[in-house]
Amino acid sequence: MPVHHKETPLVERIISKLQADISAGLIPMGTRLNEADLAEEFGTSRTPVRRALAALATLDVVVARGTRGHFIPTPTQQELAQLFEAMHEVEIFALRVAKKRLDMLSKNQIEAAHELCKVAAQEGDIAGFLRANERFHMSIYEATRNVYLADIATSFRLRTGAIRARRYQTHEDVLNGVDGHEFMISFLFNENTNDLIETLSDRISKQYSQNLSL
């Protein structure tokens, strides 16, 4: 999800890093984003951190709670159900569009992201897998060559990262995630696989239902 106003390179870097971590689910719901810790991490004062957090708050990626600071949102079950319902439709549509417009560069990017997922999964590196998993899905959105579709899909991932990450707690969980990617790749890369879309839709729907029960 792009930030829709110009910021300094440092602020943009802080925003990008936080967005990546939030989308990957590396920051749990309800977490207070400590300005002092972030300033130390980025080797800066609190001012750029505050500007980054304020920018993210305008996008509803974080929630500002007055003097208490900024927090990762904690959606209600009803909000999550609606988010995953809409996200399911967007994901399936993005896969359909990406399949139609797939070129060699997009294919290579998807394959490269998938390889990163496999390496992390084989090593049992859950955090590494979560980061690579986001790169995998982003490469599919980029393959649609539709910036508006990619923006909407990315927005859903930012809003659901902490919930989705709870599905990946063990080595077996991340290996199952790799299997899911391979099913998507089979649909995207091979001809005459349009009949797989219903199966793919059912798999994604089941995953999202499981997310709600975690």
Q: Do 189 and 35 touch, CB atoms closer than 8 A? A: no
Judge if 179 and 93 occupy the same domain. Answer: yes
Please give the Cα distance from 123 to 73 (Å, whole number).
31
Q: What total number of domains does the chain contain?
A: 2
Could you tell me if 192 and 90 lie in one domain? yes
Tell me whether residue 3 is in a domain.
no
What is the per-residue pLDDT across 58-99, written as a single tens digit (0 to 9) for each?
999 999 999 999 999 999 999 999 999 999 999 999 999 999
Domain coverage including residue 141: 77-213
Confidence (pLDDT) at 197: 80
| Full strand arrangement of the beta sheet holding 32-33 | 32-33, 70-71, 63-64
**Which CATH number characterizes residue 115's domain?**
1.20.120.530
pTM of the model: 0.88
**Per-residue pLDDT, 3:** 46
